């Protein structure tokens, strides 16, 4: 089996390539926008294709990279940012996440690619759930923001294309992914716990689903070839939801540190966030976002191989901060 992985030097892409390295009977083509220090490592069964920074991804000619490819895992994307400086953020997200994805998928159809695995986002379902009522694959999509809308539009475009050309589509919607080398807000949280900073989240009793990098990669590998994955959508998580306060305690445990959780009432947190223009940040820290992964279990026989505790230990051991 020959597999093309786009965004191969991304956080998820590097982990997927490491997992597939040396797999008997599998050859991997790792597509990157430019070669650099963080580019995908090449093993005995991997080839790196450098696409270059121009032309725009919606106009890239993939023909050379797709020769003989059976399956594509599409990770390359314009990712969600909290404060987007683009004049028209939806247009910027669409250019990459919709136009770029469909440009690749159309060329896959012409090249005879059998399956297209698309990593979407749980944000297609929405931003929050009621506690005890997790998102499922059958929910009506409720995206908020340019990133989520672009991911939904890409999913819809892929399904329409699949109906026309017969290429199998598999959609995976992960929540927040963490692991060695994690960046952004999760890395900042690890840093704060490591430094022993007091965090005003001791009274937060929300429930949030996360997914360890290893668990997401596990599901991706299953979806490369499992017959029952064809034309399905799957939600993925660690299978154990945590409150923000519990997450901080688990990070501290993995670090061998002592958590400093200050019991500040949620109403005060929300009021302070409103004054500071940080409503969305506090919603992510205090709100619920749960996903139901039972479909992946019943259809694919998949279950998380790594616990939250194991995933966090790997994340803090490999984040590169002393």
Active-site residues: which are they?
Answer: 147
- Alpha carbons within 13 angstroms on the beta-carbon side of residue 239 total 14
Residue 249's SS3 state is helix
Residue 115 gets which letter from DSSP?
E
Residue 97's SS3 state is helix
Q: Which residues pair with 232 in a beta bridge?
A: 170
Per the structure block, which two tokens stand in for 193?
């716990």
Whole-angstrom Cα distance, residue 148 to residue 141?
Answer: 10
User: End-to-end alpha-carbon separation of the chain, Å?
Assistant: 41
Cα–chain-centroid distance for residue 32?
A: 17
Helix ranges restricted to H, the chain = 11-20, 89-93, 101-111, 146-165, 184-194, 213-225, 244-255, 266-276, 279-286, 294-300, 308-317
- Find tokens 């409150």 and name the residue: 243
Report which secondary-structure segment, H or E, holds 117. Answer: strand 115-119
Of 298, 164, 173, 167, nearest to 231 (Cα)? 167
Backbone angles phi, psi at 160, to 5 degrees: -65, -40
Of 131, 136, 104, 138, nearest to 118 (Cα)? 104
User: Are 55 and 79 spatial neighbours (Cβ–Cβ below 8 Å)?
Assistant: no
Query: Hey, how many other C-beta atoms are within 10 angstroms of the C-beta on 8?
Result: 26
Q: Which residues pair with 6 in a beta bridge?
A: 31, 74
């Amino acid at each position: 089996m020959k597999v093309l992985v786009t965004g191969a030097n991304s956080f998820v892409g590097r982990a997927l390539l490491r997992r597939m390295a040396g797999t008997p009977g599998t050859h991997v083509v790792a597509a990157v926008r430019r070669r650099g220090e963080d580019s995908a490592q090449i093993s005995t069964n991997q080839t790196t294709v450098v696409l270059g920074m121009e032309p725009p991804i919606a106009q890239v000619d993939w023909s050379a990279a797709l020769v003989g490819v059976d399956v594509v895992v599409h990770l390359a994307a314009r990712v969600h940012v909290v404060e987007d400086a683009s004049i028209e953020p939806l247009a910027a997200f669409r250019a990459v996440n919709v136009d770029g994805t469909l440009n690749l998928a159309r060329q896959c159809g012409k090249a005879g690619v059998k399956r297209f695995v698309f990593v979407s986002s749980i944000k297609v379902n929405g931003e929050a759930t009621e506690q005890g009522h997790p998102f499922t694959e059958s929910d009506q999509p409720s995206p908020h923001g340019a990133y989520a809308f672009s991911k939904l539009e890409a999913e819809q475009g892929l399904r329409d294309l699949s109906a026309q050309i017969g290429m199998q589509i598999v959609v995976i919607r992960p929540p927040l992914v963490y692991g060695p080398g994690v960046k952004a807000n999760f890395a900042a949280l690890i840093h704060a716990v490591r430094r022993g900073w007091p965090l005003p989240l001791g009274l937060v009793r929300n429930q949030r689903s996360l997914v360890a990098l290893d668990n997401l990669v596990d599901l991706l590998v299953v979806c490369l070839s499992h017959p029952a994955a064809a034309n399905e959508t799957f939600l993925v998580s660690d299978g154990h939801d945590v409150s923000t306060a519990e997450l901080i305690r688990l990070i501290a445990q993995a670090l061998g540190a002592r958590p400093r959780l200050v019991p500040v009432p949620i109403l005060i947190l929300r009021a302070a966030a409103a004054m500071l223009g940080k409503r969305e940040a506090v919603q992510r820290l205090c709100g619920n976002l749960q996903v139901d992964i039972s479909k992946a279990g019943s259809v694919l026989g998949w279950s998380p191989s790594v616990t939250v505790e194991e995933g966090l230990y790997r994340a803090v051991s490999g984040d590169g901060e002393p």
